[in-house]
Amino acid sequence: MLESLRCDYVDGTLAPMAPAEVDRHLAGCAACAAMARDSAAAVTFMGRAAMVEPPQELITRILFHSPWRKYRSGLLWKPLNTLLQPRFAMSMALTILSLSMVVPKVRPLQPRDLAPAQVWAGLEDRAYRLWARTQKFYDNLKFVYQIQSTLREWQQQIGERPGTEAAPEKAPEPKTPAKAPPGEAKRGLP
């Protein structure tokens, strides 16, 4: 019991009723009394010790005479020295913080997520979305090619000189994009 209260007892920071209980215990237990006396003597000694100011060159000497000094000139030290720079550590911390805010939270896997109907529905949904995206990309690509060919035709028509006879002009025929199959048109696209 006294071991957990020893520091507070020696410092005098125990609750109002606790010192009386600790004194009663110390009166009956010689081992705890000796331990309390030793702790009090140590605290008194530390209170009498003078504060010593370390010399200014202490840090320089510690770093200069460190056992790592001989490894600082090696090939491994240069990349490690870069990693130990405060600005690199701060940039890594900020990168991790920003990624933790951007990356979506992944919920834990539930048993219902492994049901065959749920898995099949998820796969079917993903396959449909992939097919729809591919079809949109293809349709958009065809539309871009149509625009480019129409622009080329117009540039050729503008590029002809007015003094020469040109072949009779044909108006470009508008091309319509491919239509989706009847069953596909009813489903919503992502």
Reported as a single tens digit per residue, the pLDDT across 89-136 is 888 888 988 888 887 777 787 888 888 888 899 889 999 999 999 888
pLDDT at residue number 3: 64
Residue with the two structure tokens 């480019």: 148
- Between 122 and 162, the higher pLDDT residue: 122
User: Residue 166 contacts by C-beta under 8 Å, 6 or more apart in sequence?
Assistant: 160
- How far CA 50 is from CA of 41, 45, 53, 74, 149, in Å, comes to 16, 10, 10, 43, 91
Return the percentage of the chain with pLDDT > 90, whole number. 6
Distance CA 79, CA 82 (A): 5
CA 13, chain centre distance (Å):
43
The encoded tokens of residue 146 equal: 């149509």
Distance CA 69, CA 64 (A): 7
- Domains in the chain: boundaries: 2-48, 123-161+173-180
Return the number of other C-beta atoms located less than 10 Å from residue 53's C-beta: 7
Residue with the two structure tokens 């320089």: 60
pLDDT band at 170 (very low <50, low <70, confident <90, very high): low
Mean pLDDT, residues 177-189 taken together:
53
pTM assigned to the model? 0.27
- Among 25, 46, 47, which residue's Cα sits nearest to residue 9? 25
